[in-house]
């Protein structure tokens, strides 16, 4: 079976859905008319849509891939046409999603009544009644499937949706555009609700959001370059992601390139063009020069929002991805996050549009730490300990998040033990502070963490890692040492660097033990087993 999905999305979906929309429809009724309009409208807005193109209408049951796609979709759009109930496939899809909705409260069903009355769907009258008469003849009136399908239609028919009554194409195209715009707006609202905690960073998001309208000498017709600069773990990517999610809908196209410094520039050029142009099969690029020419030629007429996240000192990355303002259409904005302000200056970013992210003030730091350590305000008995630990984190959001998650639900004695470890930690050594969370893991989870730090960052999905390691990742997620977004393992580069340091230290220790007699060799063997 073949299926179609609009694979272009502006940014990582905070909600973790595989698809934004699942379309359910009877092909012979609407595939070449309304569905074409709707799918094109959804795709044009970058909404990830599952549309089963080659379904076998004669099938009695649906493929297992479809229930999975339904469960992994934020919105389910059911297009109720006159022949909808004649398809067992459609009825089974609807029954599946209505059952899923009861379990997943944030999954939304949007009915579209295509030349049928909602009461006919709700009460199985008109063409729906005729379809069920045929079903009764084939499989019996009391069949459990028929009862299940009728209940699903009754529930869906009571929902608020869209009602098409006119036959001409212009009206259908307008309705499709309205549906897509509504879904787009609701997805954007949902992404804001799922934003990472922005304690102490909200003002930064607002300021940079204002710059999107004011960049390039206050002339909105120009292309504006905006820099976000600061040390690792200070919240640059969090700020850029929030800005992107809030404003990407205001542009013709948008693309968020994560961890630019860790990727091949040609692959980044392909991703940039594919996402903004919404090319289903991807854009082919033969070399760096070819990529530069294609970006400039194909994006010159588009108002775009681009985020180049974590650019390092290699100016080539910027020159090959966003060489200058004449590469993009009027009103375009390019946001660059980096630890090196010199990169921004060398690329000609106006100093008044370079935002230097500061560490959090003490009260903001306590608030952020408490969010992860207590999921609310700190307990009165922990207030003093909380303040002491926060001061050692030096206002760095990443350290506050990881340590807060690590200490969550632990007793005061364990907090005091952590505080004692801090006393032997250099004030500015972020790796040593992050390692305290690693040291609190059991041996099995330490081993899993080191595997991920060494091999799996952004390379495999969560299920793939579990297959290899045969273990649950829940502890590492709870400790904020990793996260899973869009089915991919995510690990902050400072946390990964901390893992690399541990691996190197462990290997160095093993080498030193090698010459220390059989006791040393035994210790070396035990150490290396942890690495395997």
Residue 408 φ/ψ region, left for φ over 0, alpha for ψ in the -120 to 50 degree band, beta for the rest: beta
What whole-number distance in Å separates Cα of residue 414 and Cα of residue 412?
Answer: 5
∠ Cα 80 81 84 (to 5°): 75
DSSP letters for 330-370: TT-EEEEEES-HHHHHHTT--GGGEEEPPPPPHHHHHHHHH
Three-class secondary structure assignment of 277-321: HCCCCCCCCCCHHHHHHHHHHHHCCCCEEEEEEEECCCCHHHHHH
> How far is residue 234's CA from residue 359's CA, in Å, rounded to a whole number?
6
Picking from 367, 360, 412, the residue whose alpha carbon sits closest to that of residue 387 is 367
- Catalytic positions, written as ranges: 93
Q: Residue 88 contacts by C-beta under 8 Å, 6 or more apart in sequence?
A: 59, 60, 61, 135, 145
Give me 381's structure tokens: 């008995």
**Edge-to-edge strand list for the sheet holding 49-52:** 3-5, 49-52, 19-24, 73-80, 108-114, 162-164
């Amino acid at each position: 079976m073949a299926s179609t999905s609009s694979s272009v999305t502006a940014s990582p979906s905070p909600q973790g859905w595989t698809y934004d929309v699942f379309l359910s429809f009877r092909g012979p009724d609407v595939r070449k008319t309304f569905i074409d309009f709707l799918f094109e409208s959804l795709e044009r807005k970058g909404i990830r849509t599952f549309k089963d193109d080659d379904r076998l209408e004669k099938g009695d049951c649906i493929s297992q891939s479809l229930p999975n796609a339904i469960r992994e979709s934020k919105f389910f759009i059911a297009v109720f046409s006159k022949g909808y109930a004649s398809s067992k496939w459609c009825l089974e899809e609807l029954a599946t999603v209505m059952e899923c909705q009861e379990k997943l409260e944030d999954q939304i069903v949007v009915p579209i009544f295509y030349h049928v009355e909602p009461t006919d769907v709700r009460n199985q009258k008109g063409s729906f009644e005729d379809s069920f008469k045929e079903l009764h003849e084939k499989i019996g009136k009391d069949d459990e499937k028929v009862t299940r399908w009728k209940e699903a239609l009754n529930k869906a028919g009571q929902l608020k949706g869209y009602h098409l009554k006119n036959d001409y194409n212009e009206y259908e195209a307008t309705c499709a555009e309205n549906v897509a715009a509504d879904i787009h707006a609701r997805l954007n609202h949902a992404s804001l609700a799922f934003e990472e905690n922005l304690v102490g960073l909200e003002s930064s998001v607002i300021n940079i959001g204002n710059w999107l309208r004011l960049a390039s000498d206050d002339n909105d017709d120009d292309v504006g370059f905006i820099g976000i600069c600061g040390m690792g773990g200070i919240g640059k990517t969090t700020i850029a992601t929030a800005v992107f999610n809030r404003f990407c809908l205001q542009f013709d196209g948008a693309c968020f390139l994560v961890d630019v410094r860790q990727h091949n520039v040609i692959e980044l050029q392909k991703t940039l063009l594919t996402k903004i142009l919404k090319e289903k099969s991807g854009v082919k690029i033969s070399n760096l020069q070819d990529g530069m020419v294609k970006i400039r030629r194909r994006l010159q007429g588009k108002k775009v929002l681009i985020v180049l996240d974590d650019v390092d000192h290699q100016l080539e990355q910027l020159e090959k991805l966003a060489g200058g303002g004449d590469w993009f259409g009027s009103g375009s904005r390019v946001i660059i996050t980096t630890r090196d302000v010199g990169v921004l200056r060398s690329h000609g970013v106006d100093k008044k549009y370079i935002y230097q992210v500061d560490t959090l003030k003490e009260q903001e730091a306590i608030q952020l730490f408490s969010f992860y350590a207590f999921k609310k305000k700190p307990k009165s008995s922990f207030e003093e300990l909380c303040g002491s630990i926060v001061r050692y984190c030096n206002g760095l959001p990443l350290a506050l998040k990881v340590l807060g998650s690590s200490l969550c639900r632990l007793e005061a004695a364990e907090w005091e033990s952590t505080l004692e470890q801090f006393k032997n930690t250099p004030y500015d050594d972020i790796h040593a502070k992050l390692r305290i969370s690693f040291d609190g893991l059991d041996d099995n989870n330490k081993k899993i963490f080191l595997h991920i730090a060494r091999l799996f960052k952004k390379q495999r999905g969560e299920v793939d890692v579990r297959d290899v390691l045969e273990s649950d990742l829940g502890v590492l997620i709870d400790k904020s040492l990793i996260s899973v977004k869009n089915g991919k393992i995510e690990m902050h580069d400072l946390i990964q660097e901390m893992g690399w340091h541990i691996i190197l230290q462990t290997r160095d220790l093993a080498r030193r033990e090698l010459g220390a007699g059989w006791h040393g060799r035994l210790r070396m063997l035990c150490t290396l087993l942890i690495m395997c």
